[in-house]
Amino acid sequence: MTNKKNVLLCVTGGIAVFKAAALTSQLSQNGYTVKVMMTQSAMKFVTPLTFQTLSRNPVYHDTFDEKDPSGVAHIDLADWADLVVIAPATANVIGKTANGLADDMVSTTLLATTAPVLIAPAMNVHMYEHPAVKANMERLANYGYRFIEPGEGLLACGYVGKGRLAEPDEILAAIKQFFNEQSEQPLLGKQVIITAGPTREQVDPVRFFTNRSSGKMGYALAEAAQGFGAQVTLISGPTSLPEPFGINVIQVKSAEEMYNAVMKRYEYADLIIKSAAVADYRPKEVLAQKVKKKDSGLAIEMERTKDILQELGKCKTNQVLVGFAAETDQVETYALEKLERKNLDIIVANNVSEVGSGFEGDTNKVTIFGNDGTRIQSDLVSKKEIAMLVLNEAIRYIRKIGK
């Protein structure tokens, strides 16, 4: 490596600490600058002197042992790191980090750092499968932390199952992959707006019209764009999804609110991806009191909402504009017509009546049409993979217009 990267290795208590020593050696040999921080329980298995010798740097373990009076060690280390790696990561440190607890040097530093964090769990198989541990890991994943899956096999406790710390070369490979991704950020410095989820159009104080959009596609796009280095604004209708860590999320409800939020920010954007399922109609009159049940039928007069995508197409200058077309028949015909009529660069079309590619699920199958005649057909894959396909095509358009 021509440019050394700073890796803060947080070592927590467990028999797998010996693997962290091997990892420290491999990191040093591969040109990384490594500093090691240990919990008190980790020091019961391997001494700090081992890590000091392998890293050629002091080892940190006591929040109150301030060797340099000009700074605060755990804050300085939190700022110094390009990447924080927790290996092995016990159920205890995962739980403390997920819940914002800080009672030692490792947990305090983890709260203080703004660097990305890789977590390599190691614990008994039943601990790993405990609902509380799973919930904590899910929360950290939603915050943007990455996990290195533990291996399966004979554990130190005698059980056979999942929970064994990944091998040092596997963790090293994950670290290398992370830094490779960081060096490949084609949207670095770009402003990206993504809309996601459904809208709700109010009928009365207790009723509204909506649709089945979960927001999963838009949220996957937002996280992928952030990974490519973009400054992302996610304008989201009501969903049950947690807000992605580090992304500017603007919550809206109605089509009118989404229109105003998009148009307010549109001129500053380099790329706009409108994946939200916005209502085409809304009640012409919103009633102040709940509509009472009657024996007869109910008629509600509807009016058109503003077509956000069409308005964006009208005022587009040098932005790249991407739309979605969720259809149930004649998918290509309707998508290509929409691509032209709304002055889009790209349209992503899918047949929501096909199994696995409709609303609410975790998978999708799409065809991406470009206004230059390109056509990309995907298999049935995860929405995260679809997000990467869409963004790679959008990046091609950004480069084509020289942005």
Q: Show which residues are catalytic.
A: 157
Q: Residue 132 has what DSSP assignment?
A: H
Using CA atoms, how far apart are residues 88 and 164, in angstroms rounded to an integer?
Answer: 9
146 φψ region: left (φ > 0), alpha (ψ -120 to 50), beta (else): beta
CA-nearest of 302, 299, 267, 300 to 282 is 302
- Hey, is 81 helix, strand or coil? coil
Within 13 Å and on the Cβ side, how many CA atoms surround 144?
Answer: 17
Backbone conformation region of residue 7, classed left if phi is above 0, alpha if psi is from -120 to 50, else beta = beta
User: How far apart are the C-alpha atoms of 254 and 208, rounded to whole Å?
Assistant: 10
Helix (H, G, I), strand (E, B) or coil at 156: coil
What DSSP string runs through 334-356?
HHHHHHHHTT-SEEEEEETTSTT
What is the rounded CA–CA span in Å between residue 213 and residue 230? 25
Main-chain phi, psi angles of 297, to 5 degrees: -70, 175
3-state helix, strand, coil in the chain (%, to 5): 35, 25, 40
| Encoded amino acid at 322, one letter | V
CA separation (Å) from 243 to 4, 115, 156, 194, 219? 33, 19, 38, 13, 8
For residue 1, count CB atoms less than 10 angstroms from its CB and return exposed for 0-12, middle for 13-18, buried for 19 or more: exposed
